[in-house]
Amino acid sequence: AGVFITNIQAQELKLAKGQKFQTTTITKTALSQQMMGQSMEMNTDVTALDEIEVADVNNQRITLHKTAKQLKSSFSGMGQSIDFDSNKPEDMNGPVGSQLKGIINTPLSFVLNPSGTIAEAPKMTGNTTMNMAGEVAKGEAMPGFIALPANIKAGDTFSITGADGDNKTTANYTVVSVNGKEAELKMNIISNKTNTVNQMGMDMLMTLRATTNGVATVDVATGFILKASTEITTDGTINVMGQSVPMNVKATSTITGKKL
């Protein structure tokens, strides 16, 4: 898992055991589905606060422990509105929190290739209204990090391609500027993903194609994303109970990161 290709030179994340990072991700999602001749619209706003610790590093693997410290969401659709905050005990004891108790404040282990693509990822649980695309897949780049080539300069381009079974992601980057400590990148990412999720006791097979465009500022020393802004368009189908339901998702995401 995790084929790695670059069009200038091999790049690696430059992480050391014991390093710690924090990321705040705000995602606004608008989803539309067509089912039995009717259109359904759903909107979700999610704010996630995560802490990441480098647990181990060797020549072949990087092990990260990622802990969700807080998750807030606001969902509207299908005639209902649901607000959730993992810092509220009453929410954690409710229907959404019951699906997230194995994630909130629980370190999850990710094993990466030196290029930053995921070699091993935990099986995620949770509500599909939180993450319609399913969990992060093997072969994809680890969220929050971009492995930079050495001695990059403005105008350089590089790519990272990850694959695992039917899932494939190709990320293309253009270096806008480098000031020594930070690099600004433009990015275009194409992901094709097939994933099965469970919602309300029903297995749903999702076949998705997502296009992400945006900009990111990356710490040159580590490959850690200090800030990023993206727009994501996802088209695909959900197969459930013998029906194929077309879906379209438009999302915007902002990431703010800092070293701890």
Query: Which tops the pLDDT comparison, 117 or 145?
Result: 145
Is 11 strand, coil or helix?
coil
HSE, CB side, 13 Å, CA atoms: give it for residue 137.
Answer: 23
Four-CA torsion 22, 196, 115, 212, nearest 10 degrees: -70
- Confidence label for 53 from pLDDT (cuts 50, 70 and 90): very high
pLDDT at 1 over 70: no
pLDDT at 38 over 80: no
Element (H, E) at 194: strand 182-199
59 token code pair: 């020549």
Gap between the Cα atoms of 148 and 14, Å rounded: 9
Tell me the CA end-to-end span of the chain in Å, nearest whole number: 30
The pTM of this model reads: 0.84
pLDDT of residue 5: 38
Gap between the Cα atoms of 238 and 220, Å rounded: 40
pLDDT of residue 166: 76
- Confidence label for 76 from pLDDT (cuts 50, 70 and 90): confident
Gap between the Cα atoms of 260 and 258, Å rounded: 6
Question: Which of 167, 237, 175, 230 lies closest to 205, judged by CA?
Answer: 237
Q: What is the pLDDT of residues 155-209, one digit of tens each?
A: 999 988 877 777 888 899 999 999 989 999 999 999 888 877 666 566 777 788 9
pLDDT of residue 223: 94
pLDDT of residue 198: 63
Residue 105: left (phi > 0), alpha (psi -120 to 50), or beta? left
Contact status, residue 95 vs residue 129, Cβ threshold 8 Å: no
